[in-house]
Chains A and B, each alone.
Chain A
Amino acid sequence: MREFMQYITNAFYGATGWNDDNTYKDLNATAKGLIDFPLPRGLRLNLSSLATPHFATSYQLGTIGVVDGSISYLHSTIPLTNIAAQSDRIPLSALLRSYRRLHGLGSRDGQWCWEAEDTTPAGAAQPAASTTSPSATSAGSTLLYGRLYLPQSLLEALVVRRLTPELQVQLSAVSERSLRNGGTILGLMQYDRGKYGIEGLFSTDGGLLGFRGLYNFGGDTSPSSPGSPTGPASSENSGNGQSSEKERIYGRFSAGGEVYYGTLNKSGGMSLGGRFATLPAHRGTPLTATLTINPLMGNINATYAVLAKDYCALATRMEFNVYSYESEWAVGMELWSNRRPAGFLLGADPRNQEVVPEPEVPKIKERSFQAKLEWRLDDEGPGPSVPNAPENCEEYRGVLKARMDQNLRIGLLWEGRAKSLIFSLGTGIDLRKLDEPFRSLGLEIQYSS
């Protein structure tokens, strides 16, 4: 579950039109979200509030044997008006969904993915449908965030400032007594030109300097693509460019790299990576595949994530080291359910059923066998060409996430909404130690207003 402040920060990015796809750091965010989801430990309670469109607070109380907690405040210079902050209205997808679809490039439509699906359900998937362009007002907008962990006296601070529509600066700092020099500061400068995005960073910890870059090509980035197919069109449907474009696997390639060098400890690191992800306009099964290589350490990491159905996402990850011959694999799954979570606890509530009208699920046509063989879609008129658009997040009330790795460690997480509380119940199971298989157990409850 994403924390409330994370949700608000994402909303800030959405409101200022920042495209957080376009960074090398999040190249394999989808697989990471599906496989490496955090499991709650102990009991944790979150009380959050977006008091004004500019100001949000969050209090957290947890106990794992000892009681700890945190207080956090957030201030944004631009109003975060069109997001739902109440926990009974927050779209669950925004908090819980791991599969991440690419945004439109270069349009800076300012529509954050999940919010877009909720607020403007009709035209969100099409970048051209966005009405206002907030990029004009986004320059100069600032986000301030601070969080104090109480027993440890650990202080986190984050400043995000959008200097120009293309340039954003982030400054994050941690202060704690046990750290060397009392804390660390990380400065991050992000430059996003749509077709490519680069980042430079500096950390006081070891004097680390870093540079990351991502370059997009193919799909919607190629100059010819908006109106015409990129390749030779199939003979059957040469008449309609729009449909022929979506016929093939329609996605975007991204390639990037990162370099780090610690000026104080004289150590460094680098990696190269590539990603292919289908664009929202693609009508087939959305998929994301990434490959990262660390040539210094001989590490090869490949992930593949697929949104098999709208309610089911799967991901696998393989890692191999050519120097040490160590290998790892992990699989993850996300299964959404529209049954009421804890229904047996809350009892049947027919009113609840009526409040949420069943949305008309868009009928996804099965491809014919012939079409599958030819690696194309069925021929079809330019009728309802908006796929997945009227997706209503409220259709689903809970999600089950599961993962397993090569050590037969299983993580199970059940998240959902019960009344106006968003809960997250997770456990870690180790099948190698069958005498005491449960390694961790936790429940996290979030309420916001």
Chain B
Amino acid sequence: MAFNFNWSPLTADAGFYKRARDLLTTALNKSPKPPIIVDDIIVTEFNLGSVPPDLEILEIGDLAEDRFRGIFKMCYSGDAFLTLKTRVQANPLNTCLSAKPGFTSPQPLAAASSLTIPLQITLSEIKLSAFIILVFSKQKGLTIVFRNDPLESLKVSSTFDSIEFVRDYLQRTIESKLRDLMMDELPAIIHRLSLQLWCPDQIAKEDDDSKETSEPGVNPLATPPLDAVDVHGHLLDPAAISELSLDGGPEAQLLFSQKTLLRLSDMTNSQVTSSLDTSTTKDVLIRAWAGPDRFDATATPPTATPNLVRTSSYTASAHTYTFSDSGSQDNGSIPSRPSLVHLHSATAGLSLGSGRHTKSGRKKKTRVVDLRSKARAGTETEPASEQGDETSDAASTATNPMSEPIMPHETLDLPEDELMSSKIRFNRSDRRPSFRTQAPNAPLATQVPSADIRKTDQTEGQASRTSEKAKEPAAPETSKAEWKRSPTGPMSDTSSVILEQAWIMKMAGEIARRVYEEKHRNPGFWDERDDVPPPAYDEAH
């Protein structure tokens, strides 16, 4: 297998630099600026240079024509440069007094008069060294996460190079700001750029999505399935769908095919019990086989991920419940039964409590990540999907991300000692773990699923009671209720995002483990790094 990384085509595109400059300008002016900067920061020149970065492939998690997941170690010491223009306040007394209460101000008469100086800063000789988690899919564009602080060193040359004090100050300030930029803004910028490159139709949608997600509660019927059918299999027109409301009672359930729901719940129940008879689903659509045009509003996961911190906050919640749920249920046997996998993914968000009655306490035993068997499993199902007709009803849209469900098991496959080591790694060596920002968000994010669990628990309890009498009729009721109550829209969207994030988390842990091992092997290097913080942290204000 060979990878072909093209560095120059990026620069060959005439509009690329202009777009990148605009994106960088908006990113730099977003956060509140220190009082010394009195004007907007404008990126005037930006060049990626001709020297490509060194990439070392550490791990490839997923590989297909339209998808790629991998972890790289990147080292860069090329000739890229960046020129910024802004205006700064040159009077230290002015900046010093501007943020202070006026009551105790010494009220200088003219000593604090302002002197603004245009400033041009050129950043060059950028040296980067980073672990990069790269996720690419044709639908969602390119997502890059830096596992550690990527910036090793850079040279700041400015108008004030002759004045040592100013030069040092600028170097310090810019380094710390650039670190923030790399960790927070750059992934978002790259994501947007990739969306523009590969799926320009997503960009307009992204705005709509972000508007929608900002609403507190999402109506699942706001984005109804593409080809909604009623009980008898007739297509519903959108007008009829729009008339439905969440509390519309039985009408809402008519949206989803009774047959599909029946089958779904059947399979869920077969998971709950240890029944050996697990039916297969025919109408499966492999996401890898469908182009981006096949997936519209419902099928495509929400791509509104400009702020990575926000999206990764899902990860924590996904992490928590996939751990107890799928691990206890499937016991690592999933790869041999690929047909169940997507079913599980479809219901993972719905019937969270389904596994809790029977096997909640059990620990999984498989700890080996076997990617090949999964790949094989994926190919096995392909014929099945080809046979099945391609009309995507509610169920099939919900189960679209065929490959996603495999991923949470990898999260579980981490041995305990690995988890431990990752914790140590976070505490000691990594100063900027990407988890840090999401930690406060995690409790908030978990509230949604936990509420879900509570609700589904009730219905589950009813269902289990009724299923003693008659198992078949009870099942649709359960799933109907779940569909009705689930506060988030099409489950496939969120679950796929969640699972993907879970995979990233797992990879992050893996890297942490590697770094930790390396640290043990070569403690001197890392200790040095730990004890001497980067100059930006030295004199934090």
Contact = CB atoms under 8 A, between A and B. Distances in A.
Interface of A: 24-25, 27-28, 154, 156, 158, 172-174, 176, 179, 184-186, 188, 201, 203, 205-206, 208, 210, 212, 258-260, 262, 265, 267-271, 273, 292-294, 296-299, 301, 319, 321, 323-324, 326
B196 interface: no
B109 A271 contact: yes
B236 interface: no
Interface in B94-134: 96, 100-101, 103-117
Contacts of A323: 115, 117
A205 B109 contact: no
Contact of A260 (B100, B106, B115): B106
B90 interface: yes
Contacts, number: 100
B388 interface: no
A173 B104 CA distance: 6
A301 B113 CA distance: 9
B235 to A, nearest CB: 49
Nearest to A208: B106
B91 interface: yes
B110 A293 contact: yes
Interface of B, helix, strand, loop or mixed by DSSP? loop
Given A184-B101, A297-B90, A324-B115, A292 B106 contact: no
A258 B115 contact: no
B218 to A, nearest CB: 29
Interface in B71-97: 90-93, 96
6 contacts: A27-B109, A173-B104, A174-B103, A186-B104, A203-B106, A208-B96
B113 A172 contact: no
Given A24-B109, A292-B109, A299-B113, A172 B104 contact: yes
A184 B97 CA distance: 12
A2 to B, nearest CB: 15
B108 A265 contact: no
Interface residue tally on B, bucketed by range: 20 to 34
Given A184-B101, A205-B100, A323-B115, A271 B110 contact: yes
A156 B91 CA distance: 27
Contacts of B108: 25, 210, 258, 260, 269, 271
Contacts of B101: 154, 156, 174, 176, 179, 184
A156 B103 CA distance: 7
Contacts of A156: 101, 103
A294 B113 CA distance: 7
Contacts of B90: 297
B93, B100, B114: residue with the most chain A Cβ atoms closer than 10 Å:
B93
Contacts of A203: 104, 106
Contacts of A173: 104
A268 B93 contact: yes
B111 A324 contact: no
A235 B119 CA distance: 62
A186 B109 CA distance: 16
Contacts of A172: 103-104
Contacts of B107: 25
Contacts of B112: 269
A259 to B, nearest CB: 8
